[in-house]
């Protein structure tokens, strides 16, 4: 047993190293490409040693095809979608986890079913609906559509956190005549603030990285950064260096959020893995 432990640690470290390399290599390659000229990008065999240039970043930030307005569109839509998602998800998840009411099982199944629907099958109905109400190429229209896939996800993630709170804490507050809303605000929510942080991060990242709905339902006024990458892709050529520079700028907020909130993200990934089995 003593001899197996170092071998097991070494094997786990090797597997983790391989997994990390698989994830890091495309990012490093994209970072290097963003500092190359188009000639160096298309060179074969690949050029590993080259003179770095900032022209690609100047173009995507200050040039005619600047993505700065698109970063602003992504920020507005992602922030709005996250705010309204959490505004509705918290009370909905609380009701599913803590309250007893008619058709509770049916409502829970409905929320789960909406999350399982294939997004590609909803694009045309969404497009026609927004066209009727003038919601195409608007912040409100795109935010509303983002709610349709972020809200079910947020509700089911938050339900797991609410179910872990002992019922005795809530019952004690209700016996003290705190009321349902006061109990939720002063007793329950402080206990699940970590879960709220996790869910908020995941919802924001999903909205920031979304592409399919944005490319169809957006336009010239509301064009998230994930769609703006097409500015550097045409039939004649693909400006890979500028695409890489734009991708690095688009990834920067996501990377920063991941670094500062990695503890909450890991907790969110492992939620439910070690649960105490709350009463129902």
Instruction: Map tokens 């190293």 to a residue.
Output: 17
pLDDT beneath 50, residues of the chain: 272-280
CA distance 57 to 17: 31
* Gap between the Cα atoms of 177 and 44, Å rounded: 75
pLDDT at 4: 65
DSSP percent split of the chain into helix, strand, coil, nearest 5: 75, 0, 25
Contact in structure between 227 and 208 (CB atoms under 8 Å)? no
Whole-number pLDDT of residue 264: 67
Are 111 and 96 in contact by the 8 Å Cβ rule? The answer is yes
* Residue 33: both structure tokens together: 């490409």
Q: Which of 49, 90, 100, 41 is nearest to 203 (CA)?
A: 90
DSSP code of 202?
H
3-state secondary structure of 50: coil
Calpha distance 107→159 (Å, rounded): 13
What span, in angstroms and rounded, lies between the C-alpha atoms of 180 and 127?
40
Cα angle value 132/217/237 (rounded, 5°): 145
CA distances from 106 to 77, 112, 128, 164, 184 (A): 31, 10, 28, 22, 24
Pick the CATH number of 67-269 from 1.10.260.30, 3.20.20.120, 3.30.1600.10, 1.10.3720.10: 1.10.3720.10
pLDDT reported for residue 69:
93
Tokens for 125?
């109905």
How far apart (Å, rounded) are the C-alpha atoms in residues 253 and 226? 13
CA distance 104 to 96: 7
What is the per-residue pLDDT for 87? 94
pLDDT at 278: 42
State both tokens at 268: 């969110």
> Do 224 and 210 meet the contact criterion of CB atoms below 8 Å apart?
yes
């Amino acid at each position: 047993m003593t001899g197996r432990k170092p071998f097991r640690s070494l094997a786990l470290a090797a597997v983790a190293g391989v997994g990390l390399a698989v994830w890091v290599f495309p990012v490093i390659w994209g970072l290097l490409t963003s500092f190359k000229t188009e000639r160096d990008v298309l060179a074969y065999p690949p050029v590993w040693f080259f003179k770095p240039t900032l022209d690609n970043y100047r173009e995507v930030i200050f040039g005619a095809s600047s993505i700065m307005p698109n970063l602003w569109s992504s920020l507005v839509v992602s922030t709005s979608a996250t705010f309204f998602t959490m505004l509705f998800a918290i009370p909905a998840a609380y009701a599913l986890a803590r309250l007893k009411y008619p058709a509770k099982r049916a409502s829970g199944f409905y929320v789960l079913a909406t999350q399982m629907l294939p997004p590609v099958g909803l694009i045309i109905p969404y497009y026609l609906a927004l066209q009727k109400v003038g919601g195409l190429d608007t912040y409100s229209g795109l935010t509303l559509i983002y709610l349709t896939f972020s809200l079910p996800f947020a509700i089911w993630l938050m339900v797991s956190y609410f179910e872990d709170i002992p019922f005795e804490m809530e019952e004690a507050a209700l016996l003290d005549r705190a009321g349902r809303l006061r109990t939720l605000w002063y007793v329950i929510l402080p206990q699940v603030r970590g879960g709220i942080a996790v869910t908020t991060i995941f919802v924001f990242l999903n909205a920031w990285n979304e592409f399919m709905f944005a490319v169809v339902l957006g336009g010239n006024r509301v064009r998230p950064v994930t769609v703006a990458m097409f500015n550097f892709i045409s039939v004649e050529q693909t400006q890979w260096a500028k695409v890489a520079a734009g991708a690095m700028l688009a990834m920067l907020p996501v990377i920063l959020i991941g670094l500062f909130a990695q503890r909450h993200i890991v907790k969110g990934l492992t939620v439910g893995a070690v649960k105490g089995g709350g009463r129902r």
